[in-house]
């Protein structure tokens, strides 16, 4: 008779995501996962696979959730410059109030794991970049079509720049986030949208 799982897989995956986000992939041991998730090793392996598979599933949950939230966020801001300004302001607020200095899970995973040359993981990161840049591009395109960005020429490159800036800002703000300096940098970048 098969064993019945006494836990919610989605809840466990969410908890694993938060642990990996806080500690990183390498620093998180299987024993850390067992202790934090409150399930035994066998349940982890049977349900999610090994540590790497659990990490990738956790990462995918974070990535999908973040992209879905971003799409909803942009839909609530018809003014594109205001939308990006609020988006970056929110990132600054998160950085300043982040006692654990977690930063962005995607950025953390990128800086930690790209040097391992794991092609499958690099492809996941590339897919994430493409998805976010596409959202940025589509949002910019709506702004251009509504006459908000009449002087902006190359939306593809602007979308790429905004993605690069966001990721760089999340790395820099993990050290000692200076709200004033970060906001000044955002203002310079957003001046491209005038």
pLDDT in tens, 122-148: 888 899 999 999 999 999 999 999 999
74 Cβ partners below 8 Å, 6+ apart? 83, 87, 135, 139
Topology annotation, domain 77-193: Tetracycline Repressor; domain 2 (1.10.357)
Q: Express each pLDDT in 38-87 by its tens digit.
A: 998 998 999 999 999 999 999 999 999 999 999 999 999 999 999 999 99
pTM of this structure: 0.87
Domain boundaries, the chain: 1-56, 77-193
SS3 content of the chain, % helix, strand, coil (to 5): 75, 0, 25
Topology annotation, domain 1-56: Arc Repressor Mutant, subunit A (1.10.10)
What's the half-sphere exposure (Cβ side, CA atoms, 13 Å) at 88? Answer: 26
Whose structure tokens read 């620093």?
Answer: 27
Phi, psi values for residue 189, rounded to 5°: -65, -45
């Amino acid at each position: 008779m098969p064993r019945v799982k006494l836990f919610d897989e989605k809840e466990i995956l969410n908890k694993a995501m938060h642990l990996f986000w806080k500690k990183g992939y390498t620093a998180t041991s299987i024993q850390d996962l067992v202790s934090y998730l409150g399930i035994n090793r066998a349940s982890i392996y049977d349900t999610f696979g090994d540590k790497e598979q659990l990490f990738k599933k956790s990462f995918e949950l974070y990535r999908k959730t973040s992209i879905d939230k971003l799409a909803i966020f942009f839909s609530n801001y018809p003014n594109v410059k205001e939308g990006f300004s609020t988006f970056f302001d929110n990132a600054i607020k998160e950085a300043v109030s982040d006692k654990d200095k977690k930063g962005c899970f995607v950025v953390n995973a990128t800086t930690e794991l790209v040097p391992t040359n794991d092609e499958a993981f690099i492809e996941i990161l590339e897919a994430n970049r493409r998805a976010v840049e596409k959202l940025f591009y589509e949002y910019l395109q709506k702004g251009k079509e509504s006459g908000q960005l009449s002087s902006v020429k190359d939306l593809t490159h602007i979308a790429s720049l905004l993605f690069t800036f966001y990721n760089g800002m999340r790395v820099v703000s993990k050290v000692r986030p200076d709200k004033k300096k970060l906001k000044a940098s955002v203002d310079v970048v957003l001046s491209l949208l005038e």
